[in-house]
Amino acid sequence: MNKTIQISLLLAFFCVIGTQSQAQLKRFSIGPYVETGVPTGDFKDTHNAGWGGGLNADIKLIAGLGVTGSAGYMRFSGKSFNYDAGGAMASGKYSALQAFPVRVGVKYKFPFPLLYVKAEGGTATYVGDYKGTATLFAPGIGIRFLGLDVEAKYEAWFKDGDHLGFFGLKAGYNF
């Protein structure tokens, strides 16, 4: 099953759960988000800050604990570089890294208002010049006030022994 179908099924699942959950005291929320990421490690040597967006969903379980999931798009533009081309200097540019991350995880809202922590795992399917699928892990901390949700996180993508990581800021609104 290709990734587009998987993402569509995940979003459909969240929509069905949300429709059934609306009568249960707002135990489900869904909404759009935007995010930015600043590469770390070797990744910062080849790529600039990235941006993305998508759809996020939360399901409240018990005592501050819930599950969360998101599906979206992320893009990091490539940096320019210079190299020696047989005695003459030449320049090039790394290809942009584009991916469709799909994340699922757990979220814990602290007893004091607004603050939560969460940990997500999933996959990032590369498109464009980069190919394949990476495994991802993304711990974060955030605040949620009314429907506005702002999270700071570190996200790491692992593929074939390589590690691409970035610090990110994600902002969304949940209905």
The residues, any chain, with a CB within 8 Å of residue 12's CB and separated by 6 or more, are none
pLDDT in tens, 6-28: 555 555 555 544 444 443 457 99
DSSP assignment string, 82-143: EEEETTEEEEEEPPPEEEEEEEEEEEEE-SSSSEEEEEEEEEEEEETTS-SEEEEEEEEEEE
pLDDT of residue 169: 98
4-8, 85-89, 113-117, 162-166: range with lowest mean pLDDT:
4-8
Flag whether pLDDT at 52 surpasses 80. yes
Q: What are phi and psi of 41, to 5 degrees?
A: 60, -145
Residue 77, CA distances (Å) to 59, 108, 110 in order: 34, 33, 37
Please give the average per-residue pLDDT across 52-66, as a whole number. Answer: 96
CA separation for the pair 40, 154 (Å, rounded): 10
pLDDT in tens, 154-170: 999 999 999 999 999 99
Q: Can you tell me which residue has the tokens 């988000």?
A: 33
pLDDT of residue 77: 98
pLDDT of residue 94: 97
Flag whether pLDDT at 48 surpasses 80. yes
pLDDT in tens, 125-146: 999 999 999 999 999 999 999 9
pLDDT of residue 18: 46
Please give the average per-residue pLDDT across 95-114, as a whole number. Answer: 95
Q: Are 154 and 9 in contact (CB under 8 A)?
A: no
